[in-house]
Amino acid sequence: MSGGVDSSVAAATLVEQGYDVTGVYMKNWAQDLPGFECPWKTDYQDAKRIAVQLGIDFQVYDFQKQYRKQVVDYMIKEFRAGRTPNPDIMCNQEIKFKLFLDTAFADGADMIATGHYARTKGGQLYMAADTNKDQTYFLYRVSNEALRKTLFPIGEFKNKASVRAKAKRLGLVTANKKDSQGICFVGKVGIRQFLEHELGAQPTGNIIDQKGEKVGRHSGAIYYTIGQRHGLSVGGGLPYYVIGKDMAKNEVYVSTDLDNGNLWRGSFDITDIRWIGEFPPLAKTYLIRTRHRTPLVEAVITRPKNATHSVSTLHIVLKDKIRAITPGQSAVIYDGSKVLGGGVVI
């Protein structure tokens, strides 16, 4: 129970269905940052209030050390390498559906449940009924074994409005609580502020346009991602978009051409691949999502030339080009509403 309306309604739904429910708040991060107060105390108190309202037991699991090592340190390492990681995906893989699951079962649980918008059946993962709020993009690295032990009570709700309506009908104190914003574990603070706090000021460098000419200076290549428009401090003329960067040279590359080949890609490779079930047949068309809430695009998955069955990378050829495919982000593969797995963009 995170202290939000989704997990509150998830718990309430399970109680209605006759489950013996224990609410658990995971204390993953409690550090304040300059100018930003970590919201964990408020979230904890809200989760506890909901548990009292529902008449269920309540516990706190302190995972701060593990979270720092497995999620935060991973995220910082990826940014330093010039990639754009997704800490939510790593949190689900290592914390919520591994560490939390194992701890809960050691405490006597038979199943775990979360407030994710997703559905599961027979250890397989499916998109939520509300495709707009669907969160399966963040869950593709959860194992088949973990999914068999997981319930997603709000996966069948038709939309967020119906979730809030139920919370109001039950008089839950989180019924009108706003959804969390910013980094998953820090709250309203942005990723740039967090990296500045963790790593200090970054070396400045040149911003180079598509002609190879210097058009400005950046405040740290680590902060820029493919497709970014704002925060470049390059004035005059057409807007510039980030199309790449070189961490060794400390350069950021931009273009005013919206059709630039580095901004729109029709194919790409993925690595660090995870399948929820069996390795799927490659001789068919699947659906691919490269960012949360971006449209699904038809694609064919192939092996790189001369690759074996145990290949650690796969090549994805898209029916339609996608904008801002970014190294470090994930590409998730769907067969209809079923999530097959995915990998990290190279």
Token pair for residue 226? 């493919």
Which residue shows structure tokens 């967020």?
160
Token pair for residue 328? 């470090």
Q: Which of 10, 11, 91, 208 is catalytic?
A: 91
Residue 338 three-state SS: strand
Question: Can you tell me the distance from the alpha carbon of 88 to that of 259, in angstroms, rounded to the nearest whole number?
Answer: 30
Which residue shows structure tokens 């502020």?
193
Question: Can you tell me the distance from the alpha carbon of 70 to that of 4, in angstroms, rounded to the nearest whole number?
Answer: 24
Is residue 38 part of the annotated active site? The answer reads: no
Phi first, then psi: give them for residue 64, nearest 5 degrees: -60, -45
51 and 23 Cβ atoms separated by less than 8 Å: yes
Instruction: Residue 151: name the closest of 120, 127, 109 by CA.
Output: 120
> Quick count: other Cβ atoms within 10 Å of Cβ 217?
13
Q: Which of 9, 184, 222, 299 is catalytic?
A: 184
User: Catalytic amino acids?
Assistant: 91, 184
